[in-house]
Amino acid sequence: MSENQTPVIFTGKAGEYFGIWIVNLLLSIVTLGIYSAWAKVRRKKYFYNNTLLDGVGFDYHANPINILKGRIIAFVLFVIYSALSGINPAFGLLMAFILFLALPWIIVRGMMFNARNSSYRGLRFDFNGKYGEAIKVFIGYTLLIIVTLGLAIPFVAQRTQKFVISGHKFGVSNFKMEALVKDFYKIYLVIFIIPLLGIVAAIAIPAYQHYKVKAASHVSSYQTQHFSQASTSVKADMDTGGFIKVADVTTTEPVTTENYATEEAATADANISEAEYLKNLTPEELAEYNKLIKAAETNNPDAGITTPKKDPLAGAFAGLIGKWGVAAAILAGLIGILLYLAVIFSFAAYMKSRIHNLVFNNTTLEHIGFFSNQRMRDLLLLYITNTIVLICTLGLATPWVHIRMAKYTANHLALTGETDWDKFVGEKKDASRALGEEIADMFDVDISFG
C-alpha cells in the first residue's frame, strides 16, 4: 500500500453555523419539535458539505418528511409506554422489554437510512448489516457483559465496532475493520485498573488512619499510666528527705517502703496535683525532681508523653473557612467539582482518542486505508475549554464547540494509499447507481438517534 496521505479538511466556520443553529433551535421550539426533522437535515448537510476529500465535499440527501415519520413513531411509542406505566408498572416493564428486543432492528434501520442518504462524488454509501448479527451484538453481548461483571466490555466493544464499520459500503465496496480483541483490552485495561486502585486506596487509607488513631490512643494511655506511677514514686522518695530510691516503674506491684513515709502519707501526697506539688518545691528540690523524672524515663523510655500530631491540611482548611466563611466553602465546592470533571474528561479523552485511532488505523476500503492520530491531551483541553465557554455563554457557544470538534477530528484524520477517485467511482458507479437512487425512496422512515 502506498504511503501517500490524503488529508481530510473541514472548512466550516462558527459564524456561519451559528446562523443555522439558532434558526433551527427557534423554529423547533415554535413548532413544538416538528421542525427538528428539517433542522437535522440542514445541520448534517452543513457538516457533510464542509468535510472535504481531495477538495470535494460529502453530501446528505435525506427527506425531512421521512425523518419526521420516524420521530412521530418514536413519540407514539413513548406515549404508549407512559400510559401503560401509569396504568400498571408491569405493563411499562413489558413495553420496555419489547423495545429492548426491538433495539437491534432500530439500530440497523437507522444506520441504513443515514448511510443510504450519504454520498461522496455522487456515489452513495450503504449499510448491509444483518438482523441476526445485530441481535447477537446488541442483546446477546449485552447479557454477556452482565454475566462477566463487565470483564467482557472490551470484547463487546470490538465486536460492535466490527459490526458497524464492516457493515458499511461505499458503492459496492465494503469497509473492513480488522482491529483485534486484545488491542481493545489493552485500552480498557487502564480504565479497569485506575478505578480499582482508587477503590483500594479509598478503603486502605481510612483503615490505616483508624489504625494509627487507635494505636496512638493505646500508647498514650499506656504512657500516661506509667508517667503517673513514676511521678508518684519520685514525690514519695523526695518527701522522705533521705536517699532517693528509683523504683522499677514497669511493675504495678507496690514498692516496699521500709524506711520511707507510711503508706497512708504516700497516698495522700499522690492525690496532690502535680502543679501544686511543684509549686511548693525549693529550687534545689525542683532540680532534684527533674533529675529523678529524667532518670525514670531513661529506665523506661516508653513513659514519655507523645503529643498527637495534627493534620496540617485540615488545619489550613479550618483556618480558611474560619476567615472567609461561606465564600471559602463555595470555592472548595467549585474546586471539587472541577477536579471531578477533570477526572471524567480525562477518561473520556483517553477512551475516545485511543478507540478512534485503533478503529480507523485498522480499517480499509479496498486498497485505501485510514490514518488517525488523535491525542488524549488535545481532547482533554478541548473538553475543558468547551465546557467553560458553554457555561459562561449559557450554551450560546454550542455552534463554536461543534465546529471546533469537527475541525479537530478532520485535522487528525487522513486516507492512505492511492485515491484515484475517478477510477474508483468509474468502476463502481454503474453497478450501484440504480441501487443508491431507488433504495433511499423505498426506505422512507428514519428511526435513529442522531
- pTM for this prediction: 0.68
Collapsed DSSP state (helix, strand, coil) of residue 11: coil
Grid cell, residue 373, equals 492520530
Q: What pLDDT, on the 0 to 100 scale, is given for residue 427?
A: 46
Cβ partners under 8 Å of residue 443, min gap 6: 109, 112, 113, 116
Q: What pLDDT, on the 0 to 100 scale, is given for residue 285?
A: 72
> What's the CA gap between 89 and 81, in Å, rounded?
10
Per-residue DSSP letter, 447: -
Cβ partners under 8 Å of residue 8, min gap 6: 51, 52, 53, 410, 411, 413, 414, 415
As averages over each run of 10 residues, the pLDDT of the chain (450 residues) reads 79 96 96 93 96 94 90 86 85 85 88 92 90 93 92 94 94 91 92 74 72 66 57 55 45 47 51 63 74 67 50 56 66 81 90 96 92 95 94 95 97 89 55 42 41
Q: What pLDDT, on the 0 to 100 scale, is given for residue 206?
A: 73
Q: Name the residue among 73, 16, 8 with its Cα closest to residue 42.
A: 16
> What's the CA gap between 405 and 274, in Å, rounded?
74
Are 346 and 381 spatial neighbours (Cβ–Cβ below 8 Å)?
A: no
Say which residue the cell 511521678 belongs to: 231
Question: Given CA atoms 384, 385, 389, 392 in this order, what sign does their dihedral have?
Answer: positive
Cα 176 → chain centroid: 31
> What's the CA gap between 81 and 260, in Å, rounded?
95
Burial class of residue 145 in the structure, from the number of CB atoms within 10 Å of its CB (0-12 exposed, 13-18 middle, 19+ buried): middle
Bridge partners (DSSP) of residue 10 are 51
Q: What pLDDT, on the 0 to 100 scale, is given for residue 315?
A: 58
> What's the CA gap between 252 and 250, in Å, rounded?
7
Compute the 3-state secondary structure of the chain and give helix, strand, coil in percent, each to the nearest 5: 70, 10, 20
Position 229, amino acid: Q
